[in-house]
């Protein structure tokens, strides 16, 4: 009887594992992909969700960004309405805040992707 009880849990665990493994990375992009796409695709929008102070800090910022800090994104999301038909790459320092912002944007109907590793990875790769 104990074995019968165990099998449904085993099945669910395997199903979840396979489902996670099958997920694609449509919701993210690497900094290299960002650099390549931003350079050739003029319709790509880059949204930096760091604070204004961080933009002038040691990691700097990428020219041509739109800056809306994560803590203001819900109140200021209407500022992005003109970009609803474009792909929005969301970046922050490390990728955590931009992940949260990407979720908010997607829930509001935007085509948003999180830039993995953020500006730390961007600078580490030596990108300008």
pLDDT at residue 125 tops 70: yes
Among 16-25, 30-39, 65-74, 84-93, where is mean pLDDT lowest? 16-25
- Whole-angstrom CA distances from 110 to 29, 38, 84, 121 are 16, 18, 5, 24
Tell me if 76 is assigned to some domain: yes
Percent with pLDDT over 90 in the chain:
68
Query: The CATH number of the domain where 120 resides is what?
Result: 3.40.250.10
- Whole-angstrom CA distances from 57 to 76, 85, 108, 113 are 23, 32, 30, 24
Tell me if 20 is assigned to some domain: no
Tell me if 62 is assigned to some domain: yes
Q: State the total domains in the chain.
A: 1
Tell me if 15 is assigned to some domain: no
Dihedral sign computed on CA atoms, order 62, 65, 69, 74: negative
Q: Which domain holds residue 91?
A: 25-124
d(CA 52, CA 11): 49
pLDDT at residue 89 tops 50: yes
Active site residues: 92
Identify the band that residue 126 occupies on the pLDDT scale cut at 50, 70 and 90.
Answer: confident
pLDDT reported for residue 59: 95
For the entire predicted model, the pTM comes to: 0.79
């Amino acid at each position: 009887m104990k074995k019968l009880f165990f099998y449904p849990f085993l099945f669910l665990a395997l199903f979840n594992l396979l489902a996670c493994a099958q997920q694609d990375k449509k919701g993210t992009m690497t900094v290299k992909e960002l650099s390549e796409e931003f350079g050739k695709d003029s319709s790509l929008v880059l949204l930096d969700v760091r604070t204004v102070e961080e933009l002038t800090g040691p990691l700097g910022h990428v020219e041509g960004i739109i800056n809306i800090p994560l803590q203001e994104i819900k109140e200021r999301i209407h500022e992005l309405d003109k970009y609803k038909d474009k792909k929005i790459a969301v970046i922050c320092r490390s990728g955590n805040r931009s992940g949260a912002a990407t979720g908010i944007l997607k829930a509001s109907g935007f085509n948003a992707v999180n830039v993995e590793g953020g500006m730390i990875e961007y600078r580490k790769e030596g990108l300008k």
